[in-house]
């Protein structure tokens, strides 16, 4: 296979009892208190919201819904992501502090779902925007299926190794270039009456008194015909 590479293959993880126990402890503490962001764009959010109620209580898994991305460590992308919503979703994801996890919920966020054939504005799958840990199929997935996805995510977190996070390169691949784009003047100057006094170019050359004179002459020209 020539399209995959294991850059950290020669790493040597410590196999001592203490470090593995500490690793398990940190993994357990993280998986037992996954706080999801209260995020939903479309129908899948209804199924996600039903988890908050008493029937499919997700507080028993330690999930407390948080409204701010700064306090959340899980984002369940519930609902279709459109091209307009995409930068906001990426911004929310970037605002979440590490370690963070993503569950792509519903067919729309996995591959575009019912919008994958003809839509001009749907993003075909949220993994084009943010890295996804668990894919949860369904349209919409039942609340029990969401609990299943959360269980799978917990199992995935329990298998994590802390050294991988430390060793993986966090290089910032930044590149700046100059551009010669044209910066347009903003039309939103704060003046509400701006629109009333916009002069289209061809009328600005005709002053209003000339305009009225022309109108009068037209009127007088048509008068004798009446």
Partner 1 sequence: MATSCSYMVSTRLSMLGWSGGGRKELRNRRASFISAQQQQTDVEEAESVKAPPQEEQEQAESSRSWKPKGTKPRPVEPQLNVKSKNMTREYGGQWLSCTTRHIRIFAAYIDPVTCEFDQTQMDKLTLILDPSNEFVWKPDTCNLVYSYFQELVDHYEGAPLTEYTLRLIGSDLEHYIRKLLYDGVIKYNMDAKVLNFSMGKPRIMFNNDNQLEEPPEK
Enumerate binding residues for partner 1 (CB under 8 A): 1-9, 86-87, 90-91, 102, 125, 127-133, 164-165, 168-169, 172-186, 191-193, 197, 199, 204, 207-209
51 vs 72, which CB is nearer to partner 1?
72
Q: How far is the CB of 161 from partner 1 (least distance, A)?
A: 11
Q: How far is the CB of 136 from partner 1 (least distance, A)?
A: 14
Radius of gyration of the chain (CA): 29
Q: How far is the CB of 145 from partner 1 (least distance, A)?
A: 20
12 vs 204, which CB is nearer to partner 1?
204
Give me the residue label for tokens 């504005």. Answer: 121
Give me the residue label for tokens 């749907």. Answer: 122
Q: How far is the CB of 6 from partner 1 (least distance, A)?
A: 5
By C-alpha distance, which of 131, 151, 143, 139 is closest to 61?
151
Q: How far is the CB of 134 from partner 1 (least distance, A)?
A: 9
By C-alpha distance, which of 89, 71, 91 is closest to 79?
89
Alpha-carbon dihedral 105, 109, 113, 118, rounded to 10 degrees: 160
50 vs 158, which CB is nearer to partner 1?
158
Q: How far apart are CA 136 and CA 104, in angstroms?
A: 6
- Token readout for 138 is 């369904």
Which residues have a Cβ under 8 Å from the Cβ of 49 and sit 6 or more positions away? Answer: 40
167 vs 218, which CB is nearer to partner 1?
167
Angle at 32 (CA atoms; ends 27, 33), nearest 5 degrees:
105
Specify whether the CB–CB gap between 124 and 161 falls below 8 A.
no
114 vs 210, which CB is nearer to partner 1?
210
27 vs 51, which CB is nearer to partner 1?
27
- Token readout for 187 is 């039309």
Q: How far is the CB of 26 from partner 1 (least distance, A)?
A: 15
């Amino acid at each position: 296979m020539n399209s995959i590479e294991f850059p950290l293959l020669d790493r040597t993880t410590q196999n001592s009892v203490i470090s593995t126990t500490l690793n398990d402890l940190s993994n357990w503490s993280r998986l037992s208190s996954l706080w999801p962001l209260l995020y939903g764009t479309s129908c899948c959010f209804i199924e996600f919201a039903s988890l908050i109620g008493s029937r499919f209580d997700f507080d028993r898994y330690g999930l407390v819904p948080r409204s701010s991305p700064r306090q959340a460590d899980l984002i369940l992308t519930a609902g279709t992501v459109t091209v307009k919503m995409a930068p906001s979703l990426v911004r929310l994801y970037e605002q979440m502090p590490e370690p963070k996890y993503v569950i792509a919920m519903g067919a729309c966020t996995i591959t575009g779902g019912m919008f994958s054939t003809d839509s001009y504005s749907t993003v075909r799958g949220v993994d084009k925007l943010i890295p996804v840990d668990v894919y949860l199929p369904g349209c919409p997935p039942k609340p029990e299926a969401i609990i299943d996805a959360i269980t799978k995510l917990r199992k995935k977190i329990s298998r994590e190794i802390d050294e991988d996070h430390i060793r993986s390169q966090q290089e910032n691949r930044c590149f700046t270039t100059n551009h010669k784009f044209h910066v347009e003047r903003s039309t939103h100057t704060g003046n509400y009456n701006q629109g009333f006094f916009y002069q289209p170019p061809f009328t600005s050359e005709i002053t209003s008194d000339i305009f009225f004179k022309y109108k009068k002459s037209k009127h007088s020209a048509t008068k004798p015909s009446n």
